[in-house]
């Protein structure tokens, strides 16, 4: 065999390997419907729609059982008591209703598969059989029975299935529940005889329509909104995989534990467009969707996952964040006596608090460990406890990027950029306190990703509990700010520690639609020496910047990148390390 032929065959084999690997990576099955527990509409369920469909999901497929009509809408109630069921099945609600009208206390019951039965309250199956002459059986359990009421009267019920109700009285099929509008269907759900929980059964993309404007300001740039759409879609799928609401009757909640979701009324045209433009796109690491956490503002540097929660995740690594449009500065003030009362109330009996010692600072400037020093002991705060411990005094710290009485974060990250017009601008942000320096010069590549650069031997990632079960992803309200363009560009991920000054010149693999720009990033590494912050006044002034836990994508950083022309892929690859987006 000739040398040329051997090379050709090797090349073909390599291409086939890449193709097969890519096919394996993207074989993930995204669910057609997700189920969102609605907590912000109250416990009672009232549908304003005058015509609704009745049905249920069976093996992941929705099967309808007909329609119900009421000029005054519908309500739902939990069923109880004794029921006998006529052992006959009808093809429509109307036929079941007609046959039920001849039996006292009888109600049409949707039992799935497009079929209806008749349930008779206050009777056993034997009693129904004796009274009607029809075949009948006992209803063994009514723990999950739901009564469907119109004008105060029960017009139908469900028992053996989890029902779903959709709207057919408007062109958009929008269901109105307690005067709030939602896409998809409403699924009243009872778990083990409990109260009814309102659940929205909706497609992933329609769900995201109601998420994105709640997690990121609709005023943000198109590419930032697209990045948010991909991050939110990935995060939702990962949460579903983790079964975080396994025993609740739904897969995701509508609060910040999962993602803020407010249905149809929260939507904006441009946030919907961002969802549409990225339809189905998810971030993967080792063939699995990542836990794509995000937050409001980094203050200049993101954080490793293990320094916030527990698990070190290879795709959640600390990176410089020089793009932010606003770093969210904030101030908190505590007296030593107030801190003494706080520690005592929490059961941390360390005596009179005399000092707060900053004992560990990360590369980017975030406080990783604080020590509250008292006359009879010391309380050590680590990880996200640094933010949350003081919540009952003056509110949880917005971030861990702060100084105390001016100590703990005085060094700087300086970014020198050469824009396409050959003008040079400089942006400076306070991020850390150390004598050491890291320098990176970065040149972005075109937007095409070379498949050959994809990893071929990925490590194993644990699919255990969520790292983020106890934090807010974004802010509690949509972020708005006065947005202003500034010059910035991409950088490579910096190491988390450094022993001496070094320079690393590399080529970024992040795609971009922006003109090529050059950037030199100089970062001072973190101090490991303990820093006493007692200045003799008995008062501790905490001055910080940033908002949120610091892991994953900074929303204000994403906005800054988008304003400079970087596309959503560039943004995502910057904040999530070594991920594949498809």
DSSP 409: -
- φ, ψ dihedrals at 459, nearest 5°: -80, 170
What's residue 499's pLDDT? 28
Distance (Å, whole) CA 554 – CA 321: 8
Share of the chain above pLDDT 70, in %: 74
Place of tokens 């002034």: 541
222-275 per-position pLDDT tens digit: 999 999 999 999 999 999 999 999 888 999 999 988 999 999 999 999 999 999
318-362 per-position pLDDT tens digit: 999 988 988 789 999 999 999 999 999 999 999 999 999 999 988
What's residue 577's pLDDT? 97
Shortest CA distance to 444 belongs to which of 411, 390, 488?
488
User: In residues, how long is the chain?
Assistant: 582
* Bigger pLDDT: 22 vs 366: 366
433-485 per-position pLDDT tens digit: 332 333 333 333 333 333 333 333 233 333 344 554 433 344 333 333 222 22
Q: What is the mean pLDDT of residues 139-144?
A: 93
Q: Could you tell me if 565 and 476 are in contact, meaning their C-beta atoms sit under 8 angstroms apart?
A: no
Q: What is the pTM (predicted TM-score) of this model?
A: 0.78
What's residue 16's pLDDT? 58
Place of tokens 């490590």: 459
Shortest CA distance to 83 belongs to which of 59, 113, 115, 118?
118
- pLDDT exceeds cutoff 70 at 25: no
Distance (Å, whole) CA 101 – CA 99: 5
Sorted by where each begins, the domain ranges of the chain are 44-169, 295-449+470-551
Distance (Å, whole) CA 57 – CA 225: 32
DSSP codes of every residue in 255-315: STTT-----GGG--HHHHHHHHHTTT--EEETTEE----EESB-SSB---GGGTSS---TT
Helix (H), strand (E) at residue 56? strand 51-58
Q: How far is CA 536 from CA 335, 377, 455, 544, 553, in A?
A: 11, 19, 55, 21, 39
């Amino acid at each position: 065999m000739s040398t040329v032929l051997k090379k050709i065959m090797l090349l073909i084999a390599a291409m086939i390997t890449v193709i097969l690997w890519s096919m394996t990576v993207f074989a993930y099955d995204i669910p057609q419907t997700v189920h969102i527990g609605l907590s912000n509409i109250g416990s009672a369920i009232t549908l304003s729609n005058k015509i609704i469909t009745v049905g249920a999901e069976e093996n992941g497929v929705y099967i309808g059982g007909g329609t119900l009509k009421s000029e005054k809408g519908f309500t739902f109630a939990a069923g109880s008591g004794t029921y006998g069921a006529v052992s006959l099945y009808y093809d429509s609600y109307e036929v079941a209703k007609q046959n039920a009208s001849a039996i006292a206390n009888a109600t049409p019951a949707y039992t799935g598969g497009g079929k209806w039965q008749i349930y008779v309250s206050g009777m056993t199956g034997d009693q129904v059989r004796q009274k009607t002459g029809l075949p009948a059986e006992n209803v063994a359990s009514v723990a999950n029975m739901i009564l469907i009421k119109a004008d105060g009267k029960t017009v139908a019920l469900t028992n053996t299935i989890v029902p779903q109700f959709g709207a057919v009285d408007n062109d958009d099929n929008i269901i109105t529940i307690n005067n709030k509008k939602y896409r998809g269907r409403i699924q009243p759900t009872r778990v083990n005889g409990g109260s009814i929980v309102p659940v929205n059964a909706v497609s992933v993309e329609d769900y995201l329509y109601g998420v994105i404007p709640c997690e990121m300001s609709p005023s943000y740039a198109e590419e930032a909104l697209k990045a948010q759409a991909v991050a939110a879609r990935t995060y939702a799928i990962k949460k579903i995989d983790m079964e975080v609401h396994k025993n609740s009757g739904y897969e995701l909640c509508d609060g910040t534990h999962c993602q803020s979701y407010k249905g149809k009324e929260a939507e904006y045209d441009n946030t919907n467009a961002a969802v549409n433009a990225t339809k189905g796109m998810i971030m993967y690491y080792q063939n699995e969707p990542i836990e794509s956490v995000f937050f409001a503002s980094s203050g200049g540097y993101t954080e490793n996952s293990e320094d916030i929660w527990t698990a070190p995740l290879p795709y959640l690594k600390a990176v410089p964040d020089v793009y932010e449009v606003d770093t969210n500065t904030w101030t908190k003030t505590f007296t030593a006596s107030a801190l003494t009362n706080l520690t005592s109330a929490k059961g941390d009996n360390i005596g009179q608090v005399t000092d707060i010692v900053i004992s560990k600072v990360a590369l980017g400037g975030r406080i990783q460990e604080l020590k509250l020093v008292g006359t009879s002991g010391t309380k050590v705060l680590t990880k996200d406890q640094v933010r949350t411990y003081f919540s009952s005094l003056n509110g949880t710290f917005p971030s861990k990027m702060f100084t105390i009485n001016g100590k703990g974060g005085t060094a700087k990250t300086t970014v020198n950029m050469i824009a396409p017009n050959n003008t040079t601008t400089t942006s400076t942000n306070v991020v850390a306190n150390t004598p050491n320096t890291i320098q990176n010069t970065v040149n972005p590549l075109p937007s095409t990703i070379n498949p050959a650069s994809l990893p071929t031997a990925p490590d194993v990632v644990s699919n255990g509990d969520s790292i983020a079960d106890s934090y807010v992803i974004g802010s509690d309200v949509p972020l708005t700010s006065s947005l202003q363009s500034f010059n910035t560009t991409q950088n490579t991920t910096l190491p988390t520690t450094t022993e001496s000054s070094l320079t690393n010149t590399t080529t970024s693999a992040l795609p971009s639609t922006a003109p090529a720009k050059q950037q030199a990033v100089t970062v001072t590494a973190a101090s490991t020496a303990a820093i006493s912050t007692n200045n003799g006044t008995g008062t501790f002034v905490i001055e910080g910047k940033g908002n949120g836990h610091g892991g994953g994508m900074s929303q204000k950083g994403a906005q800054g990148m988008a304003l400079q022309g970087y596309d959503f892929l560039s943004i995502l690859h910057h904040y999530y390390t070594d991920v594949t987006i498809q």
